[in-house]
Amino acid sequence: MDELKKLFYEKSSALKTEIKALLKEHGNKPVGEVTLRQVFGGARGVKMMVWDPSQLDAVEGIRFRGKSIPELRELLPRIDGGKEPLPEGLFWLMLTGEVPTQEQVNWLSDEWEKRAHVPEHTFKALEALPADTHPMTQFSMAIVSMQSESVFSKRYAEGISKHDYWDPTYEDAMNLIARLPVVAAYIYRRLFKNGDHIPADHSLDWAGNFAHMLGVDSPDFKSLMRLYLTIHADHEGGNASAHTVHLTGSTLSDSYFAFASGMNSLAGPLHGLANQEVIKWIFEMVEQLGTDTPTDDQVKQYIHDTLNAGKVIPGYGHAVLRQPDPRFTAQRIFAEANIKDDPIVNIVWQLFDVVPDILKGLGKVKNPWPNVDAHSGAILVHYGLKEYSFYTVLFGVSRALGVLSALCWSRAMGFPLERPKSVTTDWVKQFIAENS
Ligand code: HAX
436 residues of the chain, pLDDT tens digit each: 999 999 999 999 999 999 999 999 999 999 999 999 999 999 999 999 999 999 999 999 999 999 999 999 999 999 999 999 999 999 999 999 999 999 999 999 999 999 999 999 999 999 999 989 999 999 999 999 999 999 999 999 999 999 999 999 999 999 999 999 999 999 999 999 999 999 999 999 999 999 999 999 999 999 999 999 999 999 999 999 999 999 999 999 999 999 999 999 999 999 999 999 999 999 999 999 999 999 999 999 999 999 999 999 999 999 999 999 999 999 999 999 999 999 999 999 999 999 999 999 999 999 999 999 999 999 999 999 999 999 999 999 999 999 999 999 999 999 999 999 999 999 999 999 999 8
In this predicted structure, what is the pLDDT of residue 433?
Answer: 97
Is 373 annotated in the active site?
yes
Rounded to the nearest angstrom, the distance between the alpha carbon of 318 and the centre of ligand 1 is 6
* Percentage helix, strand, coil for the chain under 3-state DSSP, each rounded to 5: 65, 5, 35
Is the CB of 366 within 6 Å of ligand 1?
yes
User: Is ligand 1 within 6 A of the CB of residue 317?
Assistant: yes
CB 49 near ligand 1, within 6 Å: no
Answer yes or no: is the C-beta of 373 below 6 A from any ligand 1 atom: yes
Of these residues, 134, 232, 271, 375, which one is catalytic? 271
Distance CA 137, CA 129 (A): 10
**Is the distance from the beta carbon of residue 371 to the nearest atom of ligand 1 less than 6 Å?**
yes
How is residue 83 annotated by DSSP? S
Residue of 126, 12, 10 lying closest to 415 (CA atoms):
12
Ligand 1 binding pocket includes 365 (Cβ within 6 Å):
yes
**Nearest protein Cα to ligand 1, atom 23:** 365
250 within ligand 1 shell (Cβ under 6 A) = no
pLDDT at 23: 97
Cα–Cα distance, 397 to 184 (Å, whole number): 8
Q: 176 near 148, Cβ under 8 Å? A: no
Domain positions in the chain: 96-272+387-413, 274-382
The hierarchical CATH code for the domain 96-272+387-413 is 1.10.580.10
- Asked whether the beta carbons of 401 and 91 are under 8 A apart, the reply is yes
C-alpha 68/C-alpha 87 separation (Å) is: 14
Sign of the torsion formed by the C-alpha atoms of 203, 209, 215 and 218: negative
Whole-angstrom Cα distance, residue 138 to residue 144? 10
Same fold, 96-272+387-413 and 274-382: no
Q: Which amino acid is at 356?
A: P
Residue 69, pLDDT score: 97
pLDDT reported for residue 420: 96
CA of 324 from ligand 1 middle (Å) equals: 14
Q: Tell which CATH architecture fits domain 274-382.
A: Orthogonal Bundle (1.10)
CA distances from 321 to 45, 235, 304 (A): 11, 11, 23
Mutation to probe ligand 1, out of 312, 375, 399 (largest number of atoms < 8 A from CB): 312
- Residue 239 alpha carbon, nearest atom of ligand 1: 50
Element (H or E) spanning 92, and its range?
A: helix 87-96
Q: Look up 243 and say whether it is catalytic.
A: no
Taking the C-alpha atoms of residue 142 and residue 129, their distance in angstroms, rounded to an integer, is 11
Which is the catalytic residue, given 212, 243, 318, 382? 318
Give residue 284 CA to ligand 1 midpoint distance, Å.
21
Specify the pLDDT at position 131: 86
Ligand 1 centroid to Cα of residue 417, in Å, is: 30
SS3 assignment, position 237: coil
Question: What gap in Å lies between CA 114 and CA 35, rounded to an integer?
Answer: 50
The pLDDT score that the predictor gives to residue 284 is 98
How much distance in Å is there from the Cα of 312 to the middle of ligand 1? Answer: 7
Query: What is the C-alpha separation between 355 and 121, in angstroms, rounded?
Result: 46
Q: For this structure, is 318 an active site residue?
A: yes
> Three-state SS for 53?
coil
- Exposure class string for 112-148: b at 16+ Cβ within 10 A, else e: bbeebebeeebbebbeebeeeebbbebbbbbbbbbbe
3-state secondary structure 126-184: HHCCCCCCCHHHHHHHHHHHHHHHCHHHHHHHHCCCHHHCHHHHHHHHHHHHHHHHHHH
Q: Which atom of ligand 1 is nearest to the CA of 266?
A: 52
